[in-house]
Chain A
Amino acid sequence: MKIALHVPCYINELNPEIARKTLLILRHFGLNVSVPKNQTCCGQPFINSGQPTTLPEQFNEIFKDYEYIVSPSSSCTSTIRSQELEVSKKMYELCEFLHDILQVRDIAKNYPKKIALHNSCHSIRHLLEGAPSELNIPYFNKVKKVLGGEIVEAKRDECCGFGGVFSVKEGFISYVMGRSKLDDLISTGGEVITGVDFSCLMHLKGIAEKDGDDIEIKHISEIIYESIFGEEK
């Protein structure tokens, strides 16, 4: 299997550890994973700002020869999937890949802390990694399946209010949405909040930090990494 790791540009700049851990997770499963050095951005920030961009085409050129492209971000994955490109069907969000292709289950079953899962909109509504409450389909959640054990979810599966350009244009509304998401997640009794999108988590972290909430927030790759290799000191 020829697999490429997609390193979302904002993860590369703001939390490169997520990329490193994703790579080590994939290698742990015996996969031969390459990291194309010339990758930059999938184009999402421009598309969402209403600016013309040819970055998705560039993305296609860089990744088209791989069988799978795995990304620790559902929003980049859904950006590429919504384009008509050769790579569109080959790109997977990390948990989706673990669930659908590698059939991984219960990997974080013995995780020492109670996990609260933030189902990001791109994960459940764009990629259908779980059943959104709006649809009349049976309940399922791939991310929970991959993690295993007792995972708690927010009562409302609504948006956390990040929305990229939205968080910069409508700061206050973005904040109140994030605030209610945090309250919802904290009220589940979870000790660590996780999710597949670092962007939502970064937004929630920013609020928690400013408001002085005592809650741990970690990207899903960190939880999976720790479950496999133990916590790094």
Chain B
Amino acid sequence: MVDVNAVNLATNVLLLGALYSLVAIGFTLIFGVGGVLNLAHGAVLSIGAYSAVAVVRATGSVPLAAVAAAAGAGLFSLAFYKGMIRYARESPVLVLILTLVMGLVIEQVVLVAFGGQALAVPSLLAGQTEVAGQRLSNNRVFVFALSWLLIGGLFYFVNRTKTGQAILATSMSEKGAALVGIEADRVYTYTWILAGVLAGLAGLFLASFQTATPLMGRTPLLLSFSIVVIGGLGSIRGSVIGAYLISFLDQVTVTLVSTRLAGVSALVVLVLVLLIKPEGLFGRELAEH
């Protein structure tokens, strides 16, 4: 294929990897702490995106839209946990069905409310920046920076704050955590809110990077699956590394092999990891010191 520019490739991998990480972290957090495979995760992203769309339409303000994306998805996630998952948590099959159905319901509700047309969310930051002789849209750089800020913030929160450490403890052993007085239900609540907020923001970023569509959460859900399986279910560090690996493979495939194969690499890697190293690169742990 034509002119492959290594700087281009590296920047694309870097920028996309951060976004993929953000998409996957909420998913791995809920699994790592609560043991719940949240199949509605992709749909929560679209809640964030469409909350932003609604606010941008009403007010024209992008910062307000970002707040709405975080708050909308966070509140939904909280309600979903408190209203349903909490009661079904002991039955993994029921949880799977509930989250799957909830994901589909959200898609339909969004479809009815906003229609099937793809909608663009304005760039969070307009204009272009030149980096290493390469023009990059400010929006992508901003999304990259914000994603890393959020990932860094999450690392700090989990490892350094009392609530974060309670989450960590619960992820390692619910019984052990209970013995030292950590209330599991409260920890799960925090986790679901946190995952919802991260997913909502990732949804907004995705919408500003691509577009918002009712089914926009399906690819990210699949991507999250691949990423957290590669990284090891429940490991934040593994998710970040998995996200970068997928992003790298995706960009290389599209650039060097064929544009007809976009998105395929994630699935190939998923199958390979499941066959060769099913526990993933970093096993099952929430976070590492």
Q: Do A and B come from one complex?
A: no
Q: Which residues of A contact B (CB under 8 A)?
A: none
Q: Which residues of B contact A (CB under 8 A)?
A: none
